A and B are shown apart, each in its own frame.
Chain A
Amino acid sequence: MHIHAYEKLWLAASILLILLLIGSVTYGAVGPGVAMVADSEQPIDAGGLDEDERFSEPRVEQVGENEYAAYVVAYQFGFEPSPIVVPEDSTVTFYVTSRDVIHGFEVVGTNANTMVVPGEVSEITVEIDGSQEYGLLCNEYCGAGHHAMEGKVNVVSQEEFEERNSGGDDA
């Protein structure tokens, strides 16, 4: 079969493009370690968050060396805790659930973004660098006050984080 030279060129370019697309997604997973939001968490009772040991008192706690867990409850129309305070240069896992309807959890201008479904716990782990103040918003229409549903993620220094936490325990 005779194939025109340009046709061969276009075929080769198409294959190159496919390899590039697959290759860069593979690179993202292997190199920077980009991951998806998994469904690894067990379902919970959305109506019984008050008795849940993780979500009765939404908080950020240290779970390992430089590793923190943030338990966040989304509700109509806000997030608890508010603000979410995490230390800089750490690895933070957000466990986010809802006590009423479906919400979104998007740290504005970043890749930290997940749906929040009542009865389910969304788990995302992120690497946090320097001190900064991020906005936090709901990106799923959740009711009349949706447009006003916002929060804050404040990244503070390690000392300030410990200070705030110990202060919180005393109070």
Chain B
Amino acid sequence: MGQNQAAHASTDDVSGDEEFDPIGTLTLIGIYFVILLLAWVYVYYIEFLGRDLVVVG
């Protein structure tokens, strides 16, 4: 039985979820995560805190 392809791990394999290896999904979510981090840093630290007249009271 194949070790590295999800397509092969179909029928009688009940315990081996480590063979389920959605590397594409992981990569995609990783990219989304990085975009989210960069967007947050930009919006809060650069755009918001970088503007004039920060309200302090």
Contact = CB atoms under 8 A, between A and B. Distances in A.
Contacts of A20: 37, 40
A37 B20 contact: no
Contacts of B56: 32-35, 91, 125-127
Summarize B's interface: helix, strand, loop or mixed. helix
Contacts of A25: 44
Interface string B17-47: 1101010011001000100110010001100
Interface string A24-37: 11001000111111
A31 B44 CA distance: 13
Given A20-B40, A107-B53, A125-B56, A13 B33 contact: yes
Interface residues of B, number: 22
A132 B55 CA distance: 17
Contacts of B36: 17
B40 A126 contact: no
Interface of B: 17-18, 20, 22, 25-26, 29, 33, 36-37, 40, 44-45, 48-49, 51-57
